[in-house]
Structure 1
Amino acid sequence: MRFLMVGSLLFSVSLQAQEALSLEQAIAKGLTNNYQVRLSQASVAIAENNNDWSLTGKYPEVNLTLGSDNSYSSTDNPASVVTQSSVISNAIVPGVSASWILYNGSRVTYAKDQLAKQLNLSQEQLEVQIQNTIQSIIQAYYGALVQREQLAVLQEVLGLSRDRIRYQETRQEFGQAGAFDLVQAQDAYLNDSTTYLVQQNAYQNALRNLQLIMGVDTPTNYQLTDSLESASTAYSQQDLEEKLLRNNPDLQASNINIQLAALNTEILSVARLPQISLNAGANYNINVSNGSQTFNFGGMPSEQNLPGVASRTLRGFVNLTASYNIYDGGARRRRIETAQLQEMQSQLQYASLEQSLKTQLANTYATYQNQQQLVSLTGELVANARRNLTIAEERQKGGLINSFDYRSIQLGYINATQSRLNAILNLKNTETELLRLTGELVR
């Protein structure tokens, strides 16, 4: 009875309310909640907003102005008709001005291309983050599945150990077994219970790790609905390499960096061309003067006050300006040379990344093929261990093997199943890495 109570405590966790969760749902939750993905999406939104002709200088710029011009002047000139004056002037000057670059060597077009490439780069960086997030979720999901399957195996073995105790107790009642055999069965059951509890905690930790990667804040007791199946897809290394060169987002981002570097070189090169701009505007001046003036006619000075009458002036202009830099100490040439070197650097970075990814793909593909064989071998190992356990159970009941041999066969079955589960997990992770390298996780 004491051992049956232990068993009921071990299985109590499975009675808690659970929420079904498929791999597809886990990925959807992760892409919605993951902060790195959301940050990358914000970067794409910024790049989309910046990809506009208005930021390239294509359109004219029009400004409204409003100014005030206030002054005071005092004059004392005996040689003049106006010998003395004291005047305060107050003016309001509203105006409008416009400037428009008519020609600057196609820098406007290159600037727009640059903004479009920046958008493409942000989109590729978002795809990199999405693929990394999907890969992490897949690995965490299948890692939790493996822990659950290992828990199921230990539960099966625990049931066999419990049946073994009952069997030994029955034999002892009929005088066919001693206390030693019963103690050995109880010891095996307690060891299996301890292992089960440790594995139960490992499974819960794996679920919590999955929730962390998904970005789920509220703890939830998920029931994983997908099954753990070994990958059996046959890949061709040549096809994988073609997909890598065509779809890998890291490689695509590096290629965009090459294009951006080339555009930067073009922009600096056309800076040597003249610039022609059109400037136009108008202003309206309203000036009110107050004060006094002293007039001297024939030695008879006469002081008069200014009436404070407003004067009005309208002024308009249209100007065409052309500028060409003749000499700047070689600064433009240096900047162009630097841009050309940066362009070469980006090309070298692309070549280095391509070589590294090809090597990584070849290693991953070879590992995938090797792990497929390991899954097949460990599957046969589990089948043999299961048959051996069934035979051992029958032989023990017939008294043909002792408890130590039976326990050894039990442990062999546990080790074989764990080896197979680990082989399947490794194969799944390797296949996921193949899909990530070839850009197929989001396609």
Structure 2
Amino acid sequence: MVLKIKALVIGFLLIGLSALGQSKLLFDEALEKLLLQNYDIQVQVLSKQIAENTASKLNNNYLPTLSVDAGGGWTYFGGENRLEDRTIELDPNASYTYDAALSLNYIIFNGFGRKYQLKINEENLALAEAEYRLLIQNSILELGRIYYEVAFLEENVALLESSMEISKDRLLRASYGFEYGRNSRVDVLNAKVDFNQDSIAFLNGKLDFENALRNLNLLMGDSIEAAYQLEKQVQIDSTLDLGTVLEVAQDQNLELAINEHNYLNSKYALANSRAPWMPTLSANAGYNYRGSEDPNGAFLKGSERLGPQAGIRLTWNVFNGQNIVNQQNAKLRLQQAEVRQKQIKQQVKAQAYNAFSLYKNAMAVLQAQEDNVATAERNFVRSKEALNLGQITNAEYRSAQLNYLQAMQNRSKAKYDTKNAELQVYAIMGELK
């Protein structure tokens, strides 16, 4: 009987105890992998580079345009020219035309449209940078959620394994007791059922851990098969206060920053919408060459012309209905941006209150769970001593064991929940970098 029990125990352990992870992966190391390999971040970096190019003066009509144009033509014909007194026969011949030009054009003034378009593009660059920082922030929050979930599940596997070891020891003791007549067969069967339940819980917990670890690898852009052991010790800042959170959030919150850039864009767009009502003054200069050869010409057999040219042009679009509509819409978009700005400020304030309340509640829950673990541990140790002395039943001992396991699991979860709540507060403050 005892040999069968030992074989059962060894079988469960061999199934469950594969390597959970070899190399250590700290949170900062996971963050470094995320920033280097995450696909969304790579795309946003390219978007920021596009915005940098768009905001350059090279792209906003501040420099002149220089162009070269050249062409040529060939014809081949013969025939006759009829005059009043005679007809001139034209032998078949080829004729040629050719030209080349170097042109320089520059817009001197276009109603400040160039100025405000540059400001719009510069704000778009600042917006792209803020959106990049927001993506980094959200990626860190997502990393924290998944990383600490994996850490909890890994810690939970260790707790379930420890509980399984306790049940294994109880099963072996019950089996030995049955062999020597101290325990009944019912005691052995109950112990075996409890061990089986703990073994199944261990295997399910291990499966949850492995699935979550693959999700973490996917987020980091790492190999899906990579195996790690995660950091279990977390440092939690207990010095945060509501006043500081609200003050810093109003100054540094990234959603507020993004909305501010959108608001400024709307202001510049309104100013830019007035540009078509003003005249456009441009200048041009160039050097031209034209030539031709025509053996059948009546008077000219060929010609060449070359030399510089320069000019200035003033264009004024006196009336265009689209300009009126564009300006009206620009005013409406600015009003929308102002309303949106007020809305975002209220939202950020509410988010700051909610995040701080969640953080304080998580801190209190963590402290309560610490107390529960201490109480459950004392109860379990005393229950084990009482069981050995025959003062309590196996069912009472099992209850103490499960209470201790649950308390340890709750404390582990509360620890990581508190860390994620802290990260959320820092995100609202715009300090999660």
- TM-score, normalised to structure 1, is 0.89
Distance (whole Å) between structure 2 residues aligned to residue 245 and residue 17 of structure 1:
42
Which residue, 96, 101, 108 being the options, matches 1:95? Answer: 101
* 1:286 Cα deviation after fit: 1.8
Which residue, 235, 240, 245 being the options, matches 1:235? Answer: 240
Distance (whole Å) between structure 1 residues aligned to residue 246 and residue 363 of structure 2:
20
* Alignment check: 8 A CA contact 2:99 2:291 kept: yes
**What percentage of residue pairs aligned between the two structures are identical?**
24
Q: Which moved more, 1:370-379 or 1:168-177?
A: 168-177
Secondary structure at the aligned position of 2:296 is classed as strand
Runs of 4+ with >4 A deviation? 69-75, 82-89
Which residue, 124, 132, 154 being the options, matches 1:126? Answer: 132
Which residue, 43, 48, 68 being the options, matches 1:64? Answer: 68
How big is each residue's C-alpha offset from its partner over 1:268-305, in whole Å with a ceiling of 9 and x where there is no partner?
A: 21332222111222312221111275xxxxxxxxxxxx
Aligned to 2:3: none
Which amino acid counterpart does residue 210 of structure 2 have in structure 1?
Q
Alignment of 1:341-420 (within 5 A): 341-420=332-411
Aligned to 2:188: 182
Distance (whole Å) between structure 2 residues aligned to residue 230 and residue 285 of structure 1:
80
Query: Does structure 1 residue 321 correspond to structure 2 residue 307?
Result: no
Distance (whole Å) between structure 2 residues aligned to residue 74 and residue 429 of structure 1:
95
Q: Which moved more, 1:393-402 or 1:420-429?
A: 420-429
Aligned to 2:429: 438
Aligned to 1:271: 276
Which amino acid counterpart does residue 182 of structure 2 have in structure 1?
Q
Distance (whole Å) between structure 1 residues aligned to residue 95 and residue 430 of structure 2:
74
Query: Does structure 1 residue 312 correspond to structure 2 residue 304?
Result: yes
* 1:174 Cα deviation after fit: 3.7
Unaligned residue ranges in structure 2 (runs of 5+):
1-5
Query: Does structure 1 residue 53 correspond to structure 2 residue 44?
Result: no
* Alignment check: 8 A CA contact 2:175 2:188 kept: yes
- Which has the higher Rg, Structure 1 or Structure 2? 1
Aligned to 2:40: 36
Distance (whole Å) between structure 1 residues aligned to residue 414 and residue 24 of structure 2:
26
Alignment of 1:106-117 (within 5 A): 106-117=112-123
Alignment of 1:161-172 (within 5 A): 161-172=167-178
Which residue, 5, 14, 18 being the options, matches 2:10? Answer: 5
Q: Aligned in 2, Cα 1:263/1:334: closer, same or farther, shift over 3 Å?
A: same
Alignment of 1:222-261 (within 5 A): 222-224=228-230, 226-229=231-234, 231-261=236-266
Secondary structure at the aligned position of 1:284 is classed as strand
* Alignment check: 8 A CA contact 1:230 1:424 kept: no
* Alignment check: 8 A CA contact 1:95 1:284 kept: yes
Distance (whole Å) between structure 2 residues aligned to residue 88 and residue 229 of structure 1:
89
Query: Does structure 1 residue 286 correspond to structure 2 residue 291?
Result: yes
Secondary structure at the aligned position of 2:317 is classed as coil
* 1:316 Cα deviation after fit: 3.1
Q: Aligned in 2, Cα 1:85/1:242: closer, same or farther, shift over 3 Å?
A: farther
How big is each residue's C-alpha offset from its partner over 1:10-35, in whole Å with a ceiling of 9 and x where there is no partner?
A: 55313x77122111111111111111
Q: Aligned in 2, Cα 1:83/1:261: closer, same or farther, shift over 3 Å?
A: farther
Distance (whole Å) between structure 2 residues aligned to residue 200 and residue 369 of structure 1:
31
Distance (whole Å) between structure 1 residues aligned to residue 398 and residue 142 of structure 2:
38
Distance (whole Å) between structure 1 residues aligned to residue 386 and residue 235 of structure 2:
33
Distance (whole Å) between structure 2 residues aligned to residue 97 and residue 263 of structure 1:
32
Unaligned residue ranges in structure 1 (runs of 5+):
294-305
Which residue, 161, 177, 198 being the options, matches 2:204? Answer: 198
How big is each residue's C-alpha offset from its partner over 1:162-193, in whole Å with a ceiling of 9 and x where there is no partner?
A: 22123223333443222222222222111111
How big is each residue's C-alpha offset from its partner over 1:200-257, in whole Å with a ceiling of 9 and x where there is no partner?
A: 1111112112112112234111111x22447342322221122222222222111101
Distance (whole Å) between structure 1 residues aligned to residue 237 and residue 71 of structure 2:
78
Distance (whole Å) between structure 2 residues aligned to residue 285 and residue 209 of structure 1:
70
* Alignment check: 8 A CA contact 1:69 1:93 kept: no
How big is each residue's C-alpha offset from its partner over 1:40-86, in whole Å with a ceiling of 9 and x where there is no partner?
A: 0010011112221121111111211112355779754428xx97585
Distance (whole Å) between structure 1 residues aligned to residue 290 and residue 80 of structure 2:
22
Alignment of 1:79-94 (within 5 A): 89-94=95-100
Distance (whole Å) between structure 2 residues aligned to residue 85 and residue 267 of structure 1:
65
Distance (whole Å) between structure 1 residues aligned to residue 286 and residue 385 of structure 2:
105
Which amino acid counterpart does residue 129 of structure 2 have in structure 1?
Q
* 1:419 Cα deviation after fit: 2.0
Q: Which moved more, 1:265-274 or 1:191-200?
A: 265-274
Alignment of 1:203-214 (within 5 A): 203-214=209-220
* 1:108 Cα deviation after fit: 2.4
Q: Aligned in 2, Cα 1:84/1:229: closer, same or farther, shift over 3 Å?
A: same
* Alignment check: 8 A CA contact 2:160 2:201 kept: yes
* 1:199 Cα deviation after fit: 0.9
Distance (whole Å) between structure 1 residues aligned to residue 21 and residue 424 of structure 2:
34
* Alignment check: 8 A CA contact 2:218 2:224 kept: no
Distance (whole Å) between structure 2 residues aligned to residue 24 and residue 284 of structure 1:
67
Distance (whole Å) between structure 2 residues aligned to residue 327 and residue 310 of structure 1:
47
Aligned to 1:140: 146
Distance (whole Å) between structure 2 residues aligned to residue 133 and residue 292 of structure 1:
77
Secondary structure at the aligned position of 1:271 is classed as helix
Distance (whole Å) between structure 2 residues aligned to residue 316 and residue 230 of structure 1:
75
* 1:400 Cα deviation after fit: 0.6
Secondary structure at the aligned position of 1:281 is classed as strand
* Alignment check: 8 A CA contact 1:19 1:220 kept: no
Q: CA RMSD in A?
A: 2.3
* 1:376 Cα deviation after fit: 0.9
* 1:422 Cα deviation after fit: 2.3
